[in-house]
Chains A and B, each alone.
Chain A
């Protein structure tokens, strides 16, 4: 008996022994479905009411005095690595990975002009192609600076952890990430909870390139209408969170950083601030490790191979499957019985091979996805 036949017969035999259980009545299933639809309609009316009130409201001045937080409305949330994120519907907007749409916070009813420009997310369309293959689930918040923005989770340990050496991450469960800061944002670069400030960069020949400086606040109440960002004493802008997540890209690294969460009427609900250490205080900042460079040291496998251009991918069918895009890095690696191609897209590796047998002989790091043709 071949392995195929043994597996098939074992599974079939086992399934046939699963005791019959009376199904839930279809009426009960339909009743639950109708109830959810009705609940969703109620949820949709909340932002609609806020919008109407916004049109009718008289603007009130910004009140800097802290007050007690308001109660959150009953909204759908899903968990992204233990972070409850408010979403527009309980069902994913698209799947593989599951992507939900974040619920936008209420629009401010007060004058925000003292807080600087509106840095809110712009509407956009989520796409599975925006995020890596290892993402389990994600919430799309909109576009920020022309780029799609997601909060997502990946299984731990994540390839991102290796690339960016995030040693404070939660390695026992899913890793939380946001697409703007690229890696596990939950515990990264700060130890005071979910609000934070991060500074990422890579280097080429000792010169810092691709600096990404962000201020981020996750896990905000759905009552929060505005997160106002103050750097070195000046308000640099504000944002209406989506899914309880606020994230802004900063043009420079401040010495002091303050974020204030306000409800739609301008009452302060919460604040987060810190005095930042000078950049020079961070060990290794002047000479960043080579391992910070995506693709340089993320797997011992690639040191045996060589980086190639898309046109040198062996085999036309393999090239079609790999579908090289601008920004991809490709590595050709000799293995027993053939060769494989490792594609790194947005920092996420995917292994391709013409021969499934050759691919089977390769010990891939945990969680790496692979595709073979025959």
Chain B
């Protein structure tokens, strides 16, 4: 039986974190429906292993990473299917503030995009980003540096 407080702490985390991760994913992948599915999937996985996830310093980062990986996999499959099927319109693509920049962010490789979103949108430190994405801090620097170089090229 679930002990008292176990479910409560998950519900608090869920309420605090869902919209933040969802928005970060929508910005990164540009598909509100997919982002919603991905966050739900990540939250189900977080609940399944809440005893492990709950003590983590960066639970939000963990959920973002799981959701992003899940969405990336789905997008890859969908791209293959798109060869035979028409593209699906997103139902919650935000009004573009700077279409060139946003498009460039979305065109980054998933690994580079995750670092940009974690650092700039989820406001994670370098070490928190490294921890959330499960990569060394040096790789965060390298990926961020390369991502910024790509974005700079687009903007210039």
Give A contacts to B, CB under 8 Å: 3-4, 6-8, 10-21, 23-24, 26, 29-30, 32-33, 36-37, 79, 91, 95-96, 98, 172-174, 321, 356-357, 359-360, 369-374
Contact = CB atoms under 8 A, between A and B. Distances in A.
A27 to B, nearest CB: 9
B36 A21 contact: yes
Nearest to A91: B45
B19 interface: yes
B120 A370 contact: no
A33 B105 contact: no
Contacts of B94: 14-15, 17-19
A21 B32 contact: yes
B88 interface: no
Contacts of A33: 44-45, 47-48
A36 B96 contact: no
A173 B45 CA distance: 27
A373 B36 contact: no
Contact of A356 (B7, B133, B145): B145
B71 interface: no
A23 B22 CA distance: 10
A7 B19 contact: no
Contact of B133 (A24, A79, A96, A360): A96
A30 B77 CA distance: 27
Nearest to A137: B73
Contacts of A24: 36, 40, 43
Contacts of A17: 94-95, 97
Contact of A11 (B10, B92, B121): B121
A98 B26 contact: no
15 contacts: A17-B95, A20-B19, A26-B14, A29-B14, A29-B44, A30-B7, A30-B10, A37-B48, A91-B48, A96-B134, A96-B135, A359-B142, A359-B145, A360-B145, A371-B138
Given A14-B96, A29-B47, A356-B141, A173 B80 contact: yes
Nearest to A36: B48
A321 B65 CA distance: 24
6 closest Cβ contacts across the A-B interface? A96-B134, A33-B47, A356-B145, A17-B94, A371-B138, A15-B23
A26 B11 contact: yes
Interface in B98-145: 98, 101-102, 105, 116-117, 120-121, 133-136, 138-139, 141-142, 145
A174 B75 CA distance: 13
Interface string B16-50: 00110011101100001000100010011101110
Given A24-B40, A37-B48, 16 more contacts: A3-B152, A6-B98, A10-B101, A14-B97, A15-B26, A17-B95, A18-B27, A18-B92, A19-B92, A23-B18, A23-B19, A26-B10, A91-B48, A96-B134, A356-B141, A370-B146
Contacts of A79: 77
A95 B134 contact: yes
Nearest to A19: B92
B100 to A, nearest CB: 10
B117 A11 contact: yes
B155 interface: yes
Nearest to A82: B80
B107 to A, nearest CB: 14
A359 B149 CA distance: 11
B6 to A, nearest CB: 10
A254 B47 CA distance: 52
Contacts of B148: 3-4, 7
B121 to A, nearest CB: 5
A79 B18 CA distance: 27
A29 B138 contact: no
Contacts of B133: 96
A372 B117 contact: no
Contact of A14 (B44, B45, B102): B102
Contacts of B7: 30
B151 A3 contact: yes
B69 interface: yes
Nearest to A133: B139
